[in-house]
Structures are given as C-alpha cells and as structure tokens.
A and B are shown apart, each in its own frame.
Chain A
Amino acid sequence: MPTEAPAKEAPITQAPEHKPKTFREEVWSIPGGEAIKLCIQCGTCAGSCLNANQMDYSPRKVIAMVRANMKTEVLKSNSMWYCVSCYMCSVRCPRDIHITDMMYVLKGLAVEEGHVWKRGRTSNLAKGIVESVNWYGRVFEVEMVINYFFRTRPWRLIGMTPLGFSLLKKGRMPLRPHPIKGRDELRKIVQAAGELEVKP
C-alpha cells in the first residue's frame, strides 16, 4: 500500500492561521482522544475484542498505526468496520483510552474520505439508520433494511423473507413509520450540528 507524504495529507478547509491537522491529530481531537498518546501497547484491547480475528489490524495495531500517521492503511482497512461497539476494550484499557470512540471516528473518516466501497455492508447499514432517523425522527426498520439490501446485495433479501414473515405474523414488524411531530426541529439540530462537526 502506498504511504502518503505528510505534506499532501489533509485538504486545507480550516482558517488559514491553523495548520491542517495530521491524521493522528484528527483522531486525538475527539473527546478524550488525547489518551491515545498514553497507549502502552499491552494488547488488552486486542485480547478482549470479539472480532479481532476478522480484522486486518487488531485494535492495538490500529492505535500504533494512528500514532504513526498511517492514514491510508488504517482508513482502507476493515478493522473499524468489525467493531461491534461492545466497549469491552474501553472498560479494560489500563490507560483509559476510548477505543470504541476511536473506531467510531475512523469509520466517520473512512466514509468522509471515500475509503469505503459503494456496496460496503456495515457502512451502508449505518448510513441507512442515519437517513431513517434524519427523515422520520425514528428508525423505520422495514424500509431501512430493504434499502440496505438493495444497496448492498439485493439477492439476499429473498433469504430474509421467512424471518420477516414470522416477525410480521407476531405483530413485531410495523409496516408504517412513526414519524415524529418535531421533524423540522430535529433537522435544524442535525444541520446546525453538522456545521460544527470537526472537519479535517
């Protein structure tokens, strides 16, 4: 994989008096992110991770790579997409590093910088949930799941029908959304928050 020269690293979108943030600076600018500097590479996170065996790089390696500014390698890897947000690494970390939060910011950066495949599964699922919340104010599961399969692997929908049918029969799958009254209010909040989001 090509390594990037530090000069080319981040597009300049900030006020001119600020230097563009390097990759590691972006990651440790998240709430509590500075703790990443304190990592002692003990590997407790990797040993606690449910899905470390599926990852290109274990959480411990991801931290080392973030600190080494290996942006492309990290963002192109599958590691953060296999994080199930169970927070086991975070509660066990002897240095109090918010590893799950780090995985979140890496997911966000990978999406933002176009490092995810168009049919990427977990990224499309997350995007679908965000769209559903922004549109209705609450998740409309049926539509969200159908959209997800159309975007990723439409043929897999057939295999899901028995499960959908049994949930429907039990009255556990409403076919109508429950939009909230304050949709405009929520959209204003989302829009305003989006403008304040830390951008690289």
Chain B
Amino acid sequence: MKYTYFPGCSLEAGSIGYNMSTLAVSDTLGIELKELEDWNCCGATAYTSITDIQAFAICARNLALAEKEGRDIVAPCSACYTTMRKTNTYLRTYPEVKEKVGKALAAAGLSYGGGIRVVHLAEILTDGNGTMKALGEKVKVKLAGLKVACYHGCQIVRPGGGFDDPEFPTALDRLMTALGAEPVPFPMTARCCGGSMIVSRREIALHHLYKILRCAADSGAQCIVTACPLCHLTLDAYQGMVNRKFGTHYRIPIMYFPQLIGIALGFKPKELGIEKNIIGSKNLLGPYSK
C-alpha cells in the first residue's frame, strides 16, 4: 500500500514520538509513506474560526499537491485528518465552495479535481483489507495482561461519516486486541479533552482532563492509548496540573497507538519516541521490551 504522508505541524514539534512510531510501524507493515512535499498547516479548528473560504483554500493546497502525486493522503493527526477530510467533503457537496476555492488555488497556478481521499492511520490499519491480520501475524511480543484505555478523542470520528461510529468508536480497541492487550471499558472514549482551550481557558480544560483520567483509572487501565497529538499533549503534559488542582495522584502513561504497536513488533521504546513522553512508562513496558 502506498500513501502520501501528511505529518502536520504537531508531528514535527510536540508529537515527534507519534511521527517516529508511525514511520517505524508502517515500514514494518509494508505501508509505504512518502511525505507530501512542502505541505502547509491544515489550519485545524482555529483557522475556520476566523474565516471559512481561506481555511478551505489552505487545505485545498495540500490536496492539490497530493493529487499531483496521485496517492491518497494518510494523516496520523486527528485534527489534520478531520480538517482535510471536511474540506474534501465540502468541495464535493457545495458547488459554491468548490468554485471559490478553485479560484483561490488558480491564483497560485494550482487546481484540485477532487480525486484524493484523506484517510487516518488507524483507518488503514483497521479497514478490513487484511492489514489487521498481517499485523497480528507480525506481533513478536504479545502485550498480554496490559490493560489499556483506548481514547479516540473527538475529531477522528466526527463530524459523522468517518470510518467508525461517531460516539462509540472501537478502532483502537480492535487494534489493541490484535496486539494481545486488554482494552478496558472506557465510556469517555470519544469525549473531547478540551484541548483547544488548554491555553486560553485552562481551568475548564483541566476539568475535562480530570474526568477522562478518573474514568481511565477507575476502569483499571494501566495506560491510555490515543490517536491525537492534542489529546496526548494535554493528558501527558498537563497531568501534573490536574493532580495539583484536584488533589489526585495520577501517573497514567499516555501512548500513541503506533507506539504500542511498535513495542509488540519488537521495537525498542527509544526507536518509537516513548522516552519523550513526560509520564514515564519504564515499569509498564519493561516486561514487553527487553
């Protein structure tokens, strides 16, 4: 399988571990990822808050560049995935958006015919084309006994029509089961972490984070697995602040799902960027990564 890879701004900064583990894992699973040349930021949810046609247009630049390569885009970041997929859908559904975005692209000598799909990394691993089976066969270290809370976050399965149920997605649970790990019941799986407010309204975001951490801890999870750079940043880097605010003592490691896949495939934690997580996971992963 060949895809154009769209890492996004987070994966070259705060979520570098997601990038490292994605590349390591996809290589082993025979998924060829070629980074999109000179990609620009998708604008996430912030750009559309100020203007809409411009926000669609900057996403369309990436889609137009990818169309030249002729491969579908795979984005590990939930926000990049949702924003670009939404742009793609709106370009197809609303002729007035298509016309305006087309004119904006033409100003830079680009055009987009709508022939590119935007997919998520978790989607290509779970969409029933045999990748899951191949993954199961390649597992070297079964993650037996590891209790994980699979946290999908909000963007990846919404707005509707994504690759999984918008309220109770199970893609990560299925992946973790294939690795031999044990997903715990986790009703908060598709709740928003409040990440977009972590800078501007921190007190509110911390409250949402507390609920998610408490839910995971009460379900007996030893770690939280996530598919979103922002969920990871908030749960990992702000866990200390949650503890101070709510008088709790959580030290729950937060992992990107390809990091755990990588462990099961026999990679060292260092190769997957796991030591870059703020909450350490040496004791947890020790038995699996000798």
Contacts and interface: CB of A to CB of B under 8 A. Distances in A.
Contacts of A141: 9, 13-14
B108 A125 contact: no
Contact of A192 (B104, B197, B277): B104
Contacts, number: 197
A192 B131 CA distance: 42
A51 B204 contact: yes
Interface string A130-155: 10110001110100010010001000
Contacts of B44: 129
Contact of A50 (B106, B166, B192): B192
B31 interface: no
Given A88-B158, A196-B100, A107 B49 contact: yes
A125 B238 CA distance: 19
A104 B48 contact: yes
A127 B19 CA distance: 27
A31 B94 contact: yes
Nearest to A174: B13
A30 interface: yes
B104 A193 contact: yes
Nearest to B197: A84
Contacts of A130: 43, 46-47, 50-51
B100 A193 contact: yes
Contacts of A185: 61, 108-110
B129 to A, nearest CB: 26
A114 interface: no
A191 interface: yes
B159 interface: yes
B160 A174 contact: no
Closest 10 CB pairs of A and B: A86-B192, A192-B107, A193-B104, A86-B154, A193-B57, A87-B158, A85-B45, A129-B46, A121-B200, A31-B94
19 contacts: A51-B204, A85-B196, A87-B158, A87-B159, A98-B159, A108-B49, A122-B200, A125-B46, A126-B46, A126-B50, A129-B43, A129-B44, A174-B12, A186-B108, A191-B107, A193-B56, A193-B101, A196-B53, A197-B54
